[in-house]
Amino acid sequence: MAKVFLSFAGGDREAALYAQSALDALGADVYCYQDVSDRDTPVNTSLSKKLANEASEADIFIMLLHNSMGGPVEADAEHRAFLRYEFDAFYQQLMSGGKQCPPVILQLPSNSPNPAVDEFAAWLAARDMAPERVPSGQDFVAKAVRAYHAFALSVETPCAFGYFDRTYVEHYIDDELIRCINTRAVFPQRFLYATALGARLWLELAGNRNGKIGKVYGAFTFGSKEPERRDPETGVRIPGLKEKVLAEIAKWPGGSELPVIVLGCGDARREATICRSLQESLPQRRLRVLLVDVSKTLIGHASRVVKETTHENTRVDFALLDFEDPRILRTILREWCARSPCLVLFLGNTLGNINELRFLDNVADALRPHDLLLIETVKDSAEPTAPQPATAAGVMNPEDPRFEFFAAPIRTFGLVPRRQQMRRTQEASLLGTLERYSYVFTSKDVETLAGSRYAGKVSDQSQIELVNIQRMVPAKLEAAAKSRFTGTFISERSYPVTASHVVTMIYCLATK
């Protein structure tokens, strides 16, 4: 992951915030010594040292000069010469051949002169460097993004153990974004999570105990705490989800392994709960977990969660892959668990992120006898189905958690997405309600992109669109599963989110 050192003055906080989000969205590891959303950072000697360390370790050094900066260049004894400290730390490495990119120093126009900026410019000139003037904060963001692309295209992404697909190196995501705009194709949802920013947004949503997703996920149980269910007509007890899974595993031939494939693992918190619970009920089986996702960040996070939640002898593998590729699941089953049937977990309405029927076809094709598939999805709920008042004209509501997700890829262009340019509409889909999100580019965006590698690729009024399926209808999901799998078991669980709002999830266990 490329390390970026981002330096800015207090007056540039907004531009710096956007640049940080854009670089985040591209997968960079950004260091800002000031919290971009906070007030001034206290200054002391340890900060000066930290700055020098961070700058010397950075791959890309971006500095934005602004009139609000203070302090003379040489005043190091009073800890006020960060500009020189940080620049020097990077520059020394550059001069010794330890860096690939020259520093990017940009300066915004100002009405009043600032001797500190002039003094620093003179100090830079003695090192054959000069700040480049940029007309606006938005141009600064675009230049920062360009510097990242220039670097990222010149290096290979390292790969540890496990399966690895180059498609998810960040600049391919960016190419895919352009391809979708030009061909008017829908931008695949998976790319939203694949960037570092997308992954972070997902972790925040899933972990926020006050939000809808966090509340539902936090209340999830598997096993003893499952509420008892009875058939409303016969009064006969319906087995709980865990009971049903255990009954199916009991039919597996051979009894030494418990392979679990987590498709679209996210933070895998609930999947880890399931694994732990099964491990306790089946102590004779050795748990092996394969985490599949398009996000390196989420896989890393999930593997820690699974290791912490399950017993010590659990083996955790990963696959950075697109499970929508029809060959993937078949290959994984053949290579990763050739000797045993397995449990495939597909939780968190991920079915709504993809072409749901094509996915069901692919899985049904790939699964072998005794393999189990557990799908979780969101049921038609008490949520309002019409756009909320603020979005009456179809403009996307900034409170909508998907706003930030969708804004992330726009930021990878170096653009600052505006709410007024984002639309949200709804229509019926085969299994539920399809929501369509789009971002319409304006002539201002086209202007900002002039001179970048995207010049000429985006035109005024061109747009990028993504779709998401929500509010699945249980009967439709059940019918779709029944026509593809031999055994299906449907279960529902309701989670109160507020006094008046209950979210119901549907669980569909399918066997072949």
Ligand X SMILES: C[S@@+](CC[C@H](N)C(=O)[O-])C[C@H]1O[C@@H](n2cnc3c(N)ncnc32)[C@H](O)[C@@H]1O
Q: Is 111 helix (H, G, I), strand (E, B) or coil?
A: coil
54 vs 376, which CB is nearer to ligand X? 376
Verify binding: residue 298, ligand X, rule CB under 6 A. yes
Binding characters for ligand X, 197-226, by CB under 6 A (x = yes):
-----x---x--------------------
Verify binding: residue 507, ligand X, rule CB under 6 A. no
CB of 328 to ligand X, least distance (A): 8
Residue among 13, 143, 242, 270 that touches ligand X (CB under 6 A): 270
Q: Which residues of 462-478 are buried (b: 16+ CB within 10 A; e: fewer)?
A: eebbbbbbbbbbbeebe
Judge whether 474 and 379 are in contact, CB under 8 Å.
yes
Judge whether 422 and 403 are in contact, CB under 8 Å.
yes
* DSSP at 387: P
CB of 222 to ligand X, least distance (A): 13
CB of 317 to ligand X, least distance (A): 15
Residue among 120, 193, 252, 405 that touches ligand X (CB under 6 A): 193
Verify binding: residue 294, ligand X, rule CB under 6 A. yes
135 vs 455: CA distance, rounded Å: 18
Q: Which stretch binds ligand X (CB under 6 A): 101-109, 289-297, 424-432, 504-512?
A: 289-297
The alpha-helical segments, DSSP class H, found in 96-221 are: 115-125, 137-152, 170-183, 190-194, 196-207, 212-219
Closest CA to 121 of 110, 112, 133, 129: 129
62 vs 305, which CB is nearer to ligand X? 305
Q: Which amino acid is at 480?
A: A
CB of 261 to ligand X, least distance (A): 12
CB of 483 to ligand X, least distance (A): 23
Q: What is the largest CA-CA distance in the chain?
A: 88
Verify binding: residue 54, ligand X, rule CB under 6 A. no
54 vs 85: CA distance, rounded Å: 11
101 vs 347, which CB is nearer to ligand X? 347
Verify binding: residue 120, ligand X, rule CB under 6 A. no
Judge whether 310 and 272 are in contact, CB under 8 Å.
yes
Q: Which residues pair with 293 in a beta bridge?
A: 320
Residue among 24, 139, 176, 293 that touches ligand X (CB under 6 A): 293
Q: Which stretch binds ligand X (CB under 6 A): 43-51, 73-81, 243-251, 290-298?
A: 290-298
CB of 309 to ligand X, least distance (A): 13
Verify binding: residue 471, ligand X, rule CB under 6 A. no
Q: Residue 30: count other Cβ atoms within 10 Å of its Cβ.
A: 25
Q: Which residues pair with 343 in a beta bridge?
A: 260, 372
- Residues in Cβ contact with 487 at an 8 Å cutoff, skipping those fewer than 6 apart: 248, 509, 510, 511, 512
101 vs 196, which CB is nearer to ligand X? 196
Verify binding: residue 348, ligand X, rule CB under 6 A. yes
Binding characters for ligand X, 317-336, by CB under 6 A (x = yes):
-----xxx------------
Verify binding: residue 190, ligand X, rule CB under 6 A. yes
Verify binding: residue 7, ligand X, rule CB under 6 A. no
Q: Is 154 exposed, middle or buried (0-12, 13-18, 19+ CB in 10 A)?
A: exposed
CB of 41 to ligand X, least distance (A): 33
Verify binding: residue 467, ligand X, rule CB under 6 A. no
271 vs 445, which CB is nearer to ligand X? 271
Verify binding: residue 295, ligand X, rule CB under 6 A. yes
353 vs 391, which CB is nearer to ligand X? 353
Verify binding: residue 301, ligand X, rule CB under 6 A. no
55 vs 408, which CB is nearer to ligand X? 408
CB of 354 to ligand X, least distance (A): 6
Residue among 71, 131, 137, 264 that touches ligand X (CB under 6 A): 264
* DSSP at 395: B
CB of 295 to ligand X, least distance (A): 5
Verify binding: residue 266, ligand X, rule CB under 6 A. yes
106 vs 347, which CB is nearer to ligand X? 347
Q: How many residues bind ligand X (CB under 6 A)?
A: 23
* Beta-sheet strand order (sheet of 132-133): 29-32, 3-7, 60-65, 104-107, 132-133
Judge whether 295 and 332 are in contact, CB under 8 Å.
no
Q: What are the Cα distances from residue 504, in Å, to 206, 468, 495? A: 16, 18, 6
Residue among 277, 340, 350, 448 that touches ligand X (CB under 6 A): 350
Q: Is 57 helix (H, G, I), strand (E, B) or coil?
A: helix
371 vs 252: CA distance, rounded Å: 9
384 vs 391: CA distance, rounded Å: 12
Residues that bind ligand X (CB under 6 A): 190, 193, 202, 206, 264-267, 270, 292-295, 298, 322-324, 347-350, 353-354
